[in-house]
Structure 1
């Protein structure tokens, strides 16, 4: 990153800061419920499997909605899509806060996932369209918002969760309402008109062998990601604040490697080489977590080390998807994200079932094996991925396509 680009990041009009702030809050939602999972289970007399479905409903709907967000935003426009997404998050987060049963929260988290998909699938392209200083500055600002949101979410969840499990949900309602007003007032066009995207576009994109390989690998990789994120609060045995601080460290680690370490590695190694190095290390880290699951300090270290590795993988996978096909990159990114979110949706309840049946180590073994399947998928399909190593991603095109690539 050049000095001029670095300084340009912070010289942005108000409408860019409005969307960036909303991005921070939206990404906070990924880890916000983490610290309050045990409290929800206790207060609402829910089983661990039921509690983990809070992630599943959110991620499943987010992923499926990704298949239609390009179609929607290309017809109603960026601002309307952003406001619709933010409005849905406000409504469903409020309903979560007011709920009296875990089943109701599971259902409302699904609505939250729909809002999240509409918002995050449009936010980056909007920032790029309104930012000053070029696409490079816009992408850095977006990645900074991503990292800040992922880090702050668990911390805020822990702080508010110490008062009540409802607290984090009310916190999101307040912050997202502020973001809604900011976007409504500050985001002004005109924006470049997009050609209508066919509803079938994401499905056609997944027929491309390279994108299919990356999507399958990401599905299994996301199982490892969300076992670490969604299951770990239970064996840690901490209160809401302890869990929040642990995953604040995880989020900071993920942000650091996503924004700074991954680009450094990619200057020296090809994309597939980086992934084939980092994935086995992630599997090893998960196996260490399985062995030392009863020692809180060791488990905390494994979680934070996992964050370091996940940050690299998120960035490299995103860049790889951008170069995988000749389809519009926003369409390819949405199609890929829809598949990988299915892995994230399945992982939490499966981990809870394995824990109940076999003990707390087995979910981490399951996650490690899933990550190794992702590694094998990339290794077997590497010949189909040669072109992603031969092409340097154009930063202007990158802006239009990352979308949700780093969001989970």
Structure 2
């Protein structure tokens, strides 16, 4: 029994899992890499804050829409080639963005970056879950850890490179993604000959007819308004230089990584996933309200950002686990359908926050984001019966983990 427990340890994973997790860290750096340079881009390219925020919107909008076809693409060409093409597209469009001379061009190339991102991240999650030992829970924790590390390191690297030039983070991303392409080519086994279930283009849309998945997708859409208001709008009221912003959002991402890996599993082992969401979503709303109240204080806003990271780490992991276990759908299809909807919230939030701040003050975007998160909490609480399957799956996972632990002790 002890051998089984050790083999099921979260850190004892096949090479495929670690290779894809490493590439995921680099891919997720792209989300926060531009964060510290948003004010610099606005200044250097003579753009408004709302125009600069469109760097997030084009990226996330295309990512979300492209998610609708990622399962179909992967079922035709295989996970390995889908991952490689996704990363290669990011290399191309990140380089093009670095060479751009206008904010409109950067926005357009970020859209192409979003296409590559969609191909990669949806396939990466399904690949890690399929290859990992210890069940889907362990795989999702590893995936969320990669997300947290990438989101933490991205702003730090973006701040350091951005202190030299606003083009630096884009060139840095291209170089990192190229290294990930080489790593996948060399270390990721070929999946030629592996049986693949052919997907239909309509599968993700049909999946959204399932009430549990539709509920979680819409809740995540509103939740992402809070997530990306905190991430993408906060650099403007903070008023720090690129390195200062990089350090702040490094702390935010580190907090997110810690709670996604260690705190979320502890909570879901002790209470149903739906209850965790029903508790933590209102706490995030309160944090956003606090951010709106203290927005004029740089230290106060930094505290709210880091506390928000702690809450977001829990929510990211628990939402992903709940989605994967809420239906009997194939995981690539469930992931594509859910992500397509949730990224729409992230796409709308940054420019909306900038416009609200321009007309009514820097505090208003945080209050609106808090309201959106409360909508997400209301949906989860009202629809808890629809999440019974995911809650039951969490109970089973916890019981199995406890049995393994008791066997090791014996």
Please confirm whether the aligned pair reaches a TM-score higher than 0.5, indicating the same fold: yes
Partner in structure 1 of residue 127 of structure 2:
126
Partner in structure 2 of residue 36 of structure 1:
37
CA distance in 2, matches of 1:266, 1:238: 37
SS state of the match for residue 198, structure 2?
coil
Residue 302 of structure 1 pairs with residue 300 of structure 2: no
State the Cα deviation string for residues 79-98 of structure 1 (Å, max 9, x = none): 11111101100000000100
Would you say the 8 A contact 1:16–1:131 is kept in 2? Answer: yes
Residue 84 of structure 1 pairs with residue 85 of structure 2: yes
Q: Aligned runs of 1:171-210 on 2, under 5 Å? A: 171-190=172-191, 192-210=194-212
Partner in structure 1 of residue 114 of structure 2:
113
Question: Over aligned residues, Cα RMSD in angstroms?
Answer: 2.0
SS state of the match for residue 115, structure 1?
helix
Partner in structure 1 of residue 223 of structure 2:
221
Deviation, structure 1 residue 179: 1.2
Which is worse superposed, 139-148 or 179-188?
A: 139-148
Summarize the Cα distance change of 1:393–1:99 in structure 2 as closer, same or farther, 3 Å threshold: farther
SS state of the match for residue 270, structure 2?
coil
Would you say the 8 A contact 2:142–2:261 is kept in 1? Answer: no
CA distance in 2, matches of 1:92, 1:168: 13
SS state of the match for residue 71, structure 2?
helix
Deviation, structure 1 residue 233: 0.2
Deviation, structure 1 residue 148: 1.4
State the Cα deviation string for residues 325-384 of structure 1 (Å, max 9, x = none): 222122112101110100000000000000000010000001001111111112222232
CA distance in 1, matches of 2:8, 2:210: 36
Q: Aligned runs of 1:149-160 on 2, under 5 Å? A: 149-160=150-161
Q: Aligned runs of 1:85-100 on 2, under 5 Å? A: 85-100=86-101
Deviation, structure 1 residue 10: 5.9
State the Cα deviation string for residues 235-264 of structure 1 (Å, max 9, x = none): 001000111000000001111111110110
Unaligned runs of 5+ in 2: 398-410
Would you say the 8 A contact 2:126–2:332 is kept in 1? Answer: no
CA distance in 1, matches of 2:167, 2:393: 48
Partner in structure 2 of residue 234 of structure 1:
236
Would you say the 8 A contact 2:75–2:198 is kept in 1? Answer: yes
CA distance in 2, matches of 1:394, 1:175: 39
Unaligned runs of 5+ in 1: 396-408
Summarize the Cα distance change of 1:8–1:327 in structure 2 as closer, same or farther, 3 Å threshold: closer
Partner in structure 2 of residue 401 of structure 1:
none
Would you say the 8 A contact 1:323–1:393 is kept in 2? Answer: no
Which is worse superposed, 359-368 or 181-190?
A: 181-190
Deviation, structure 1 residue 4: 2.1
State the Cα deviation string for residues 113-168 of structure 1 (Å, max 9, x = none): 00011011112343455667887765554343222111100100011011011000
Would you say the 8 A contact 1:322–1:393 is kept in 2? Answer: no
Summarize the Cα distance change of 1:220–1:49 in structure 2 as closer, same or farther, 3 Å threshold: same
Summarize the Cα distance change of 1:128–1:273 in structure 2 as closer, same or farther, 3 Å threshold: closer
Summarize the Cα distance change of 1:106–1:393 in structure 2 as closer, same or farther, 3 Å threshold: farther
Would you say the 8 A contact 1:319–1:393 is kept in 2? Answer: no
TM-score of the two chains, using structure 2 as the length reference: 0.91
SS state of the match for residue 188, structure 1?
coil
CA distance in 1, matches of 2:154, 2:268: 28
Q: Aligned runs of 1:281-300 on 2, under 5 Å? A: 281-300=283-302
Would you say the 8 A contact 1:9–1:133 is kept in 2? Answer: no
SS state of the match for residue 101, structure 2?
coil
Deviation, structure 1 residue 215: 1.0
Equivalent residues, number: 393
CA distance in 2, matches of 1:8, 1:216: 31
Which is worse superposed, 126-135 or 349-358?
A: 126-135
SS state of the match for residue 267, structure 2?
helix
Summarize the Cα distance change of 1:127–1:390 in structure 2 as closer, same or farther, 3 Å threshold: closer
Summarize the Cα distance change of 1:323–1:139 in structure 2 as closer, same or farther, 3 Å threshold: closer
Summarize the Cα distance change of 1:150–1:194 in structure 2 as closer, same or farther, 3 Å threshold: same
Summarize the Cα distance change of 1:269–1:8 in structure 2 as closer, same or farther, 3 Å threshold: closer
CA distance in 2, matches of 1:44, 1:176: 25
Which is worse superposed, 70-79 or 141-150?
A: 141-150
Partner in structure 2 of residue 377 of structure 1:
379
TM-score of the two chains, using structure 1 as the length reference: 0.91
SS state of the match for residue 391, structure 1?
helix
Would you say the 8 A contact 1:226–1:347 is kept in 2? Answer: yes
Would you say the 8 A contact 1:253–1:304 is kept in 2? Answer: yes
CA distance in 1, matches of 2:95, 2:395: 40
